[in-house]
Structures are given as structure tokens and as C-alpha cells.
Structure 1
């Protein structure tokens, strides 16, 4: 199976369908893309913009297109020798009345073949009922207000609550119909024997009879009216269902199904069950076998009970050479298990490494000192993370927390006298102490690294809760398999806990701490961490060498649908690490301009204000005219920021008055003449330096070990906010125009065009040129970058800490990459080299290197040359690749 050369991530949705995709296939081919990398395209909720809320995994989303259309696209891709990498979602589906499996369960209960397909504890209630947490108020109030009703429609009896509609159980028919009517129906059509197929025939016969008999229909409608007007009758009918509607906040303390993170309407699957695995993947494997899907990206692998077992099953189905990557967030020093049968991850770790090397690590002290004054309450990031994980566990995942606690007793892992608040608190502290998303225990004794992580979690929990030393010590023994309990049960319990440490980290860190700890916002990013501040070039080389040795076919991502801000907005914010004194001076100046407004209300607070200043630095439009559209987008983003931080507002308890005051502050900023006269010149300088960092980021993505990925539209500058802002429509006509212009540049025109790219860098043609030429190089020299050795190069002292330089070597063919990291030291605000570095030597080639080279961006040739100056490398273009001539 052919591996991708470069993937292009597309968010297929009702707003971007197969028909839209077909219009850009030629463009993507000309750009040099080898593989379409698609968001989930299976049948999702109506209007879904992301596709992760699947209701039917056996067909393509009708709002995106049809299987026939996809087959036609497949034929086009085969002609173009392009592939299709498909994102699949084995962890969860939408908790929705249209979910094909839930519908069957709601009607048939234990008779449904899908009854155990979802991760549900059916045994918590006398009548097996799954909690349907979609009510706006507690059930008694909802019944009192008459907001729930039972109706008869073309699909049978349904319970309805605003937009929610759930099919009723078979018992409902006996309860609504008179005994005589019910018996006659059953007798006439053969009775119900428990099979789904027979029930559908029986129900259809009933519905046909109602349709043909006006008197019967009228009688049933009268009965339904009587039921709907009685709280008692409605409650009696609800007691016959296999779901029980509850207030959406109920799940914060009680829940009997596993959710995706804390999202009530995403219900998790029991994918560890082989039957569930086989059923769920039927259509996926059909598309694989037809050759329509040439690679798979597995979403949220950490949600599965046993990820390795899942991957082994998957690998057996698709074959050894088939391209499979997983979505996996690795902490800074964490490694992907080497024995997993995958090509690698979907690229968050690469994003973090590039983001860190393009940050000036020498400025950490300056930023820490300044931020301690801005936000002294949260100056210690590790403490903040622990606090927020505990908060999420107790306040948002209280139901899951209670279930894990009770499971320990069900498995006889706890003594009766341990049923105290102290032991339960210790369990929570231990889970919050996990320094990684999760471990993957397969058997006892655990692997050395797994034991190390559990011991680390114990130490973190003990440091924060020393009064629980005895209780924490017991849980450490339990997790290590050293308690005097059944080892099978201890392992099961540890594996079960690991399905929740991941969501705990995601919600406590990415969706809470990342919106509170604002020292340098570019590192509040998926896969990255504000706990780290910069990476030396030597450190970057070490990481890339390990990447080359371990999983060289992992995806190199710099933007995804999950990233917190656009890749070029991050680079702008990283520029601040090169000019800390000027940055904090400017920030103080702007702060003083609005001190009188904030003295009265302290809204936004100091930390939020600091966030806003960085936000504007990163996302300010190149036109320098923010306009109403930018304000509205920024306002929507800030609302999310405030609610995710959960300090002055939240999704659970929004403080709209506070939020409106923050929006008013932003509006004043954007219209304040003194602020703009100070901010705009500074921001323009940062934007220029950020553009150079962006080119370095692009080049590193294209040439470092791994498969480069382009998120939709990021051929041009990407200054978007977090989703849904990063799923806005892409102007492909403009991109087609730019690409055609770039491809038509003659050798004689090139010097003038390169100068024009720099002078007009806001239009982003410079970024597309960098991407296109690097991708062209990669396509022509595929094996150099896919299999070639990674050789770090030692630069002259003046540049050794400022430029990332390495060679990729395959079969005695060489390519040398130069990506500036500390850009303000080398370039001016016009993207030109500074006078004092022009003639300085950057590199003397090792003795065994070739001496004939060609610059892939400028087409400049070097004959018999072993030394290179800054001017020779960067005077025409800010980044460089020398390919052996």
C-alpha cells in the first residue's frame, strides 16, 4: 500500500459537499497533494459541521453526498494517483433519536441485538433505562409544564421534547391501546416474538391499520390527548420506556452511560466487544476493500478500553501495509507504544515541537516574572492543572466518578470499612494526578514505564493531599496489581479508570487550564503545553531523530480542526518571546489607557485583559482594519474563552452581564484612536516577523520526518480562532488564481516575483509559494524525505541558536534545510536581511557532502561550494532548501 506524500485535511459537511470537493480536485492535484484527509463523512446529525456525531455508520451523510458520488470521486483519484485518508470514530456515536442502534434499543430493550453495544450500566434501575440527559429542567417540572408529550407518527409512538424525539418501547402499544384492540392486533398479525424484523412488520401493519381506519385513529388521538394532559399518566408511560429523560445537569452527579468527555449527547460504544467492532466497521471495511479509502485515522484512541487490542483487530482486517494513524495526544516526554501496529499519530506532537523551537526559550524568565504579577493566583501551572482536573472530576464528571467508586466495590476491590469520604477523595486525587492522558495496561506485572507513571500520579496526589497518604497508598497498590485482590479484577479496574483519565485531562487542561494560564498563548495548544517555554535547536534535532527512528510516517500537522488558534496566529504570538521588553512595555501602555474604565469594574480582570492583548496580536487582520466582522468573530471567541475558563462565567452558569462588559471593553479597544496608533505599528512589526516564522514552520513541516498535512485553506495565512471559526468557508478561487500565477513564473521573472512576495507578504502568496515549492521538491524526491536519514548540521556560532539546519540523505542524495527560528535577529520588518548579517558565514559543509547545489526556492546554483553566507541563503527568500545538483 502506498503511503501518503502529503495530506490535505477537509471538513466535509453540508456546507462543503462531494460536489464542492470535485471542483477543487484538479487544484489539489496541481498543488501536489497526494491524499485527501477527510473528516468523518458518515451519516451524522442533521446539519453537523464536524461529523463526529454519527447516527448511522453504515452510510454516507446524505447532506454530503452519496456512495455513488464517492465512487466517482474514487475513480478521479485513481486517475490522479491520489488517495483518501478517512477519519473514523470508533469511540462514540450521537445520543440521538435518529441513532440507528438506539432506536432499536428504545423499542425492543433487551430483545435488541444492540442492547449491549453502548457502554451503559443497565443494571442501575429495576426497568433497564438509559438516562437521556436532555431536559432543561428536572422531569417533574417538565411534566408539570406539559413540555413532554407522546405522539403517533409515521414511525410509531414517540416521546417528544422540543427537537428531541425518541421511539417508544413495544409495551407502550399495550398501554395506549385497549386490551381488546391490542389482542386483536396481535392475533391478526401473529403476535410479537421478540425479533426486530418481526416487530417492524407488526408495527407497520398497525400503522397501516390506523391510516386506513379513521375511527381507530381518532380513538388513539383522544387517548394520547388524555395521557398528555396527565402528569401521572405520562410518568406511568415513561416508566415503560428503555430511556428516562432527566435534567441535563443530572450527569454532573449521576450517570449510567459513558460519554465522550462531558458531552451528554455523545454516547460511547463498547468497542472492546468483538461483535460491536465487526458491526460498526462493516461499511468502513467495504470502502477499504473497494479501494475508495486508502488509509484510516482513528479518532480518540484513548477512549477505548483496550486500544492495542482494537488496533490489532483493525490491522488484521486492513492488512499489514495499510496506512493507519491514530489521534493521540502525547505529553512532552511521552512515547507512543512501539508495539502498536500503526504508522504513527495524527500530528499533535510535531506541532508542539515546531511551536517550541520557534519560541525563544531564553525569554522564559522574563515572561514568568511578568506573568506572576499579572496573574499571581495561577502562577504555578502544575498546581492549576491539578486543581482544574479535580474540579472537572467532581463538578462535571461526578457521575463517572461515582460509578468508578462503586465499581471498586462491585469487583470486591475495597473493604467495607473503606467506604468513607477519605478513600473516595483519594481515588479522585489519584486520577487527577496522572501526568499523561492514560496508560495502556495489558497484564500484571505492569511495564516499567507504566509503573513509573502510576508512581508519579501517586506522588502528585500525595503532594496535593498529604492527609490522604494511607488511602492513596492503597490505590497505588491496587493500580500496580499489588493489593491482595484478584489480579484480573484489579487489571479490569485499572483499564476502566484509564477510560476516564483521558477525558479528565482533556477537559481539565485543554478546555479549562488553557483558558486560564495565559503566559504565552501560542503554547496553550493541543499537543503542546504552557508548562514548556521554548526548545533549543539541539533539542528539536533530538526529537526529530527519534521521530525518524520510531514512527517516520506520523503526520506532521501544524493546524487541525482541534487547534486553539490558526497556525500563523501562533507564530505571531511566538514573536513576542523574541522582544519581551518591548512587548511588556507596550502592554503596560495599553493597560494604562483603559485603567479608568477597569478601575470601576475590574472587567475584564488583569488575566483576561492580558489574554485579549495577545489575542489581538495573533489574530489582527492584515488589512489593519478590524471591522465589524472581526469584532463579531472575536466576541464569539471571547465568550467561549470566558466560559471555558469557568472563573467569571461558564457554560453551566453563564454570566451574560459580565461577558457583555468584556465585549464592550473589546469594542472600545478596537475603536480607540490612541490605542490603535500605538498598537498597529507594533502589531505590524510582529506580523512581519511572524510571517517569517510561518515560512519556517511550513518548511519544517514539509521536510522533517513525517507526512506533512495541510489543513483546509492554510495554503494562505491562517489567523482563525478555535472551532467553529476554523471551519469557515475557504476561498478556493483565490487559491487557484495564486497557484496558477506561481506555476507560470519564468526563471527570468523569478527574482522580481520573490521581491514582490516579500513586499506584499500580507496577501499570503509568499506562503503558498513556500508550500508549493517545498511540496514539489518532496514529490520529486519522495524517498529522501520518507526514508532518508536526518542529519543535524552545526552552524557557525553567530547562527547556531537561531537557524534550524539539517540534511535529509537517501542513497547519497542530499537536501539541506535552513529554517530561521530567531527571526528578529536576522531580518528586518520588510523581510529583508539585516545589514550586519549579510556577509556572515552560516555553514561550512562537512567534508563528505556534495559541492554542487541548487536552491529550491530561488533556483540559484552553487558550483564547487562548501561555505554559505546569510546573503547566499536568505537574501532572496527568507527560508532555504539546497538540493544536490
Structure 2
């Protein structure tokens, strides 16, 4: 059974099981249905996120271990809260080999290791890209029966410890190599391009059992009521894995699957749905003024920022296939039969670039594969023979090695090329540059929004919905504020021109990104802003990268925020502009949150976002949450306080509390879906829908709104009460939205 709602917490050293148990009563008072945790199996020591698991057989000792986990479960049970846990089937950390017993055994015993088949290793010896240079092989040493390279330790195969360190190294089942060789020569599957996360062959029943035994025990014991699956696209057989997990767990399962607009989740998987990036795009998009697209395109073009998104995506994906994921392309090409190696590599690379979605699930979603094939044939006639050979081989054996590797890797190319590169270069309008988003589609119409929600209710009513996650590029409230800029395109453009002339960043794409970020997150410390811009510059890979640094440029980027603050005129203008858009951003933020919380699906609240939260990409969005302040405000709400919409964020807390409690106490209200229409001069400035005895009403495009005089909502017959104000509600929007830019109408008494 699906939870009524979830509240996501980031478990880490400093916020463990006991800390989660300490806020359980707060979550209960808020109306939350389930605590939703980041991974809690044992990761590499000191992990701040938990996705780098080294031991799947026990709860993370740095969070409190098994005793702490059980204490948390007991507390959740006392309060009637469910527990949803994030799991990571695709990979394990091999950063510190000694901490991963399976990997250590593989390095020590090679193909003879009982765990050799657990990891997706192409060949032995395994290449380990840890050396600082090719000459660093001379810096190896033998110490305490291990091969060492500074702080790195590696096992020695039995009977190989005699001779020099170089000689001993040559006898092992692994080779330590220059870290720069990882992109082109690595011979084990990774998580994207992260060499310290080795792919796990969870499609093998024995490996599935070994990696899931503890989690499934928690489910069987009634400790866990739901599972969130990280990165299913990296698996050899996502559908087979999902079906096995659902069957073995018998619980609510959602998958972190990023869907392009119009792309369906395979029904054959048997899961409840995705983790909600598709809902994020729809909800946030409906608050964007679509008429502003030409103005933002014009500004970007004027500043020298790319405006052809399709061409930029192709360029960025080609960069990825030729550099950081070149080894994956080579590995796939090795399985192509009847084609010379060079043509096979080119064809494989271009096929990955051409995918319209993250991954094709063959044979179920064959049309996406066919589309990529046709695009490459058209764009690269000289590769027609090689592409035809690959296509024939894939169709003949859709579960074979070639087809599997292509599918596993296409999502990596899309994610690294589009999300982690193009999204930082295509800085035309950042509110759209989000995981699961489509920056070239300027917002979402009201009709498109309603159609998407109706489809979710019909097909995936128990899917998760979200607005902020640990992976989003910026928080929901930053996007809400940025959406306001679409209603002030000319004013924004004029300001950016002035500011850029005085203290702009020399690289145009980063410059436009920086000004939007500054307005979206204002006020923000120099430390946070500089850290964000440093990451953005390296992800964009225009002037500097994570691998090849332009230190002079990076220093300029680091100093930019301070230079803005030091220019009194610019700083004053930025502050004034941010102050102007902030109230409208609050309106958008409340509207977004209401549509998500009241709409179809199971809503998730990311830690801390029940108040205003102006976080940027990780690690910024993993900062500590002030639960004491939230608890105090919640206590005032319980006493009947109806807060104003101001900088405390209490209005958002009031909205979240109201809707989550209704979901828990009156779940019958949250079924069905029907648009509710408005008439009058401001009709386009409201979006509303009815469930079963509940109507959600939200203001959109607040800057351009002419006011609510003469605009009415077509309420169904009956007596309606606004649960936010406690007042009877009628159709006149001027009365209905006099206190808040949103309303939660319940038939009868709320």
C-alpha cells in the first residue's frame, strides 16, 4: 500500500537514525505519511550521501548501526508513520578497496574469486586509475602485506609478495594506472564516469539475493513499507529487476526514472511509478509565462549564449562519448560483428548521441531505438553500413550483450551530456533547466498541465511526485522566483546588460547563468555562490573542467560574487530587483506546492522545503535543516495562527500542514481529477482542479494579473470551505484569494 505522502531526509554522519527519530513527532504533526530516507546500508566511511555502498549486509554504523535503525523503526511505529528507504542496485563503492570485502577479494583472487561475477568486469587484470602519472608506478611500496600507493592499499595474491613493488604489481589481478586513462581504457562498468563506483551485475539471481537480503529482511519484518530505486537505467535489465523486486518485496516501489515529455514508463515493470521528475516539469512549467520565450532567446543570442538547444545537446553528448565515456563506447563497439573497429566506434557513439530519451527498453519501447537509428543514418550517410549492422544485431538479440550495453550506456550519455553539460551551457532561462525538464519547451500551458495530471491519475495514481530532491539543479522556491522573470523579460534583459557591462563574467553562458542564480537565491553568501559557480563552470566544460583546470578563469569566477557586492551601484540594483520579484516568487512557490501536494500521485516534501528554501545544486541542498524553527512555527499553527505571506515562510508551512493532514485524515478526497475553469478578465491567471470533494486553486502569472475583479471560478454545487482560512468559499476569486494566493476548498466543513 502506498504511503499518503513522504518526507525526504538526507541521512549522513551528523544526522543519523537517532536524529531522524527525534524529528518523527514533528513529521507526524506536519501530517507526513512516511519518513523517506536516503540509502542507509553501509557506505564508504564518511560518506555524506550514502550512494557509495560498500556493504549491503548491514545498516550504516555511522548512522547508529542496526540498534539505531531498530530504534528509529520503533519510534515510527509508535506514531503510525511508514518508512521508505532508498536503495542502490546499480553500483558499489570501490574507492577504498579494503572497505568493500567483495571487491578486495576480486582484486586478490581475480577470476577465481567467488565475487568476480558480482561486478561488471570486462577482463582481467582490472585497471585501477589511481596513479598521479605514468611514472608514479615507481612510487609503489609493499607494507604490512599490502601493495600501497600513498594512502591507497591493495591486496596481494597468494605467493606474489617477493621482489620489488613494481615486480609484485605485475603479478596481480589488477593494474594501477594513470587516472587519466579511465576515460578511454577502463575495463569495468562504472556509475556514469565515476571510477570509484563499480557496476554490479544485479541481473544475476545470486547477486540480487546477496545485495538485497538485508533490505528485503527489513521489509519482511514490517520495518520498511516502501522502496525507492536509484538509477534503474544503469541496469542490464531494468524491467526484470523491477518485477523481481516488486515480487520479492511485495511493497510500494518507485523508480528514479527520468521520462522525456510524452515518454511512458513501461507498465510491465509492475512498479507504482517514478520518483516524480515528470511531475516537477509539469507543475513548475505552468507558472512560466510562455509568451516571454522570444525575449529570453533574443537576450541569450545578444550575449553570445547558445540558443539552438538541439545542436548544443548534440555537441555536448559528442564531447562525452569522445572523452569521459570513451571507454564505454569502445567496449560496446567490441561487440559489433562484421564492421571495422573505427566505424563501429563512430556508429556506436553517434547512436548514443541520437537518443530522444534516456534509454530504449527493447523490445518494449523499440520505437526509441528505431528513431535513433534513423537519425544517425540521415545525419551520417558514411556510417549507414555500420549502423545497419548494429541495428540488425540488436534486433536479432534484444537481450544480448550488444543491445544490453547500448541501453545501459545511452542513459549515461544523455545524463552527462545533457543534464550535466548542456543544462549549464544553455542558460537562456534557468527555471526550465531541471532534471526531467525540457529547456527548449518554454513552460507548460494550463491545458497541457491538466492533461498530464489526468493521465497520472488514470495510469499512475501511486507514483511519487516531487518539486525538490537531492539531485535537482536548484530548489523549487528558486525556480518559483526565476519564473517571475518570465513576466519581466524586458526589465530583466536591460538589467543584465547594465550589470554585465560593469562586472560581468567573461564567459557568456556562465555570465547569464550567474545573474539569474543571484536573483533566484538572493541573498546568498559569497561562499555558497562561489562554490556553486565553480561547479557550474566545470560542469559546463567551456573554459574549465573537473579534469583540466583553467586556474586563472576559476579564480575570476570565485571572485565574481564579491565583485558584485563591491560595486555599490550594481549591488543595490540587484537587491532592489530581487526584492521586487520576491513576493511574486512566494505566490508561485505556494501555487507550485499546492498543485503538487493536492494533485494525483504521492507527494514528497524534500527536507526543509516546508519553509522557503533557496538552495542550489548539491552539496548546497544537503545543508543542515533548522527543525527547531520549523517545530516552533508548527506549534503556533496548531494553536490556530493563520500566518501572513512573508519572509518567515510560515505560509508555506501552513499550506503543507493543511494538505498533508487532509491526505492522512481524509484520503477519500484525493481521488479523481477534473479541471475547474475560471471566467473573467484574469481567467488565465488561475489554475484549479477538483479531486473528490476537494478543489485546489492557485494563482499563476501574478505580475501581469489585472486583479480578480470580475473573475469567478466555476465551483460545483455545494457548500465549500477554504481549509487555509476556515471561511466559507464561493466562486468570486477576489474574495477567495484575498488572504493567500492559493486556496484549498473542501466540500462542507474542512
> Given the two structures, how large is their TM-score scaled by the length of structure 1?
0.82
Task: Provide structure 1 residue ranges, at least 5 long, that are not aligned to the other structure.
Answer: 123-127, 177-226, 228-232, 409-413, 482-486, 827-835
Q: Does 1:270 align with 2:201?
A: yes
Moved more, 467-476 or 296-305: 467-476
Structure 2 partner of 1:112 = 113
Q: Cα offset for 1:493?
A: 1.6
Structure 2 partner of 1:192 = none
| 2: CA distance, partners of 1:453 / 1:253 | 27
Give the 5 Å matches for 1:169-180. Answer: 169-172=157-160, 175-176=161-162
Structure 2 partner of 1:331 = 260
Answer yes or no: is the 8 Å Cα contact 2:243–2:271 preserved in 1: no
Q: Does 1:240 align with 2:168?
A: no
Answer yes or no: is the 8 Å Cα contact 1:850–1:884 preserved in 2: no
Structure 1 partner of 2:413 = 504
Q: Does 1:819 align with 2:698?
A: yes
| 2: CA distance, partners of 1:293 / 1:165 | 36
| 1: CA distance, partners of 2:686 / 2:287 | 10
Answer yes or no: is the 8 Å Cα contact 2:110–2:173 preserved in 1: yes
Answer yes or no: is the 8 Å Cα contact 1:238–1:244 preserved in 2: yes
Answer yes or no: is the 8 Å Cα contact 1:575–1:689 preserved in 2: yes
Q: Cα offset for 1:466?
A: 4.2
Structure 2 partner of 1:383 = 311
Q: Cα offset for 1:451?
A: 3.5
Q: Cα offset for 1:590?
A: 1.6
In the superposition, relative to structure 1, how do residues 266 and 420 fare at CA in structure 2: closer, same or farther (>3 Å)? Answer: closer
In the superposition, relative to structure 1, how do residues 244 and 328 fare at CA in structure 2: closer, same or farther (>3 Å)? Answer: same
SS at match of 2:7: strand
Q: Does 1:103 align with 2:104?
A: yes
Which of 345, 350, 361 is matched with 1:440 structurally? 361
Moved more, 500-509 or 242-251: 242-251
| 2: CA distance, partners of 1:53 / 1:819 | 40
Answer yes or no: is the 8 Å Cα contact 1:325–1:343 preserved in 2: yes
Q: Cα offset for 1:671?
A: 2.1
Q: Does 1:546 align with 2:455?
A: yes
SS at match of 1:762: coil
Structure 2 partner of 1:364 = 293
Structure 2 partner of 1:217 = none
Aligned length: 746
Q: Cα offset for 1:252?
A: 1.3
SS at match of 1:349: helix
Deviations 1:162-207 (A, max 9, x none): 33222221233xx44xxxxxxxxxxxxxxxxxxxxxxxxxxxxxxx
Structure 1 partner of 2:349 = 428
Q: Does 1:20 align with 2:19?
A: yes
Structure 1 partner of 2:720 = 853
Give the 5 Å matches for 1:378-527. Answer: 378-408=306-336, 414-415=337-338, 418-419=339-340, 421-441=342-362, 446-447=363-364, 450-479=365-394, 481=395, 487-488=396-397, 491-527=400-436
In the superposition, relative to structure 1, how do residues 20 and 488 fare at CA in structure 2: closer, same or farther (>3 Å)? Answer: same
| 2: CA distance, partners of 1:16 / 1:295 | 21
Q: Cα offset for 1:838?
A: 4.0
| 2: CA distance, partners of 1:403 / 1:513 | 25
Q: Cα offset for 1:4?
A: 0.8
Q: Cα offset for 1:473?
A: 3.8
Q: Cα offset for 1:797?
A: 4.3
SS at match of 1:77: helix
SS at match of 1:818: strand
Structure 2 partner of 1:258 = 189
Moved more, 380-389 or 424-433: 424-433
Q: Cα offset for 1:491?
A: 4.2
Q: Does 1:694 align with 2:589?
A: yes
Which of 130, 136, 139 is matched with 1:142 structurally? 136
Look at both structures and tell me which one has the larger radius of gyration over its CA atoms: 1
> Given the two structures, how large is their TM-score scaled by the length of structure 2?
0.97
Q: Cα offset for 1:644?
A: 0.7
Q: Cα offset for 1:464?
A: 4.0
| 1: CA distance, partners of 2:379 / 2:147 | 47
Moved more, 767-776 or 432-441: 767-776
| 1: CA distance, partners of 2:496 / 2:106 | 58
Deviations 1:455-488 (A, max 9, x none): 3213433454344344334434444x2xxxxx33
Q: Cα offset for 1:489?
A: 7.4
Moved more, 251-260 or 775-784: 775-784
Which of 696, 710, 713 is matched with 2:605 structurally? 710
| 2: CA distance, partners of 1:342 / 1:783 | 23
SS at match of 2:691: strand
| 2: CA distance, partners of 1:817 / 1:505 | 36
Answer yes or no: is the 8 Å Cα contact 2:333–2:344 preserved in 1: no
Q: Does 1:604 align with 2:506?
A: yes
SS at match of 1:804: strand
Answer yes or no: is the 8 Å Cα contact 1:338–1:550 preserved in 2: no
Structure 1 partner of 2:651 = 766
Q: Cα offset for 1:820?
A: 1.2
SS at match of 1:669: helix
| 1: CA distance, partners of 2:398 / 2:60 | 41
| 1: CA distance, partners of 2:457 / 2:654 | 27
| 1: CA distance, partners of 2:636 / 2:399 | 64
Structure 2 partner of 1:830 = none
SS at match of 2:85: strand
| 2: CA distance, partners of 1:497 / 1:111 | 28
Task: Provide structure 2 residue ranges, at least 5 long, that are not aligned to the other structure.
Answer: none
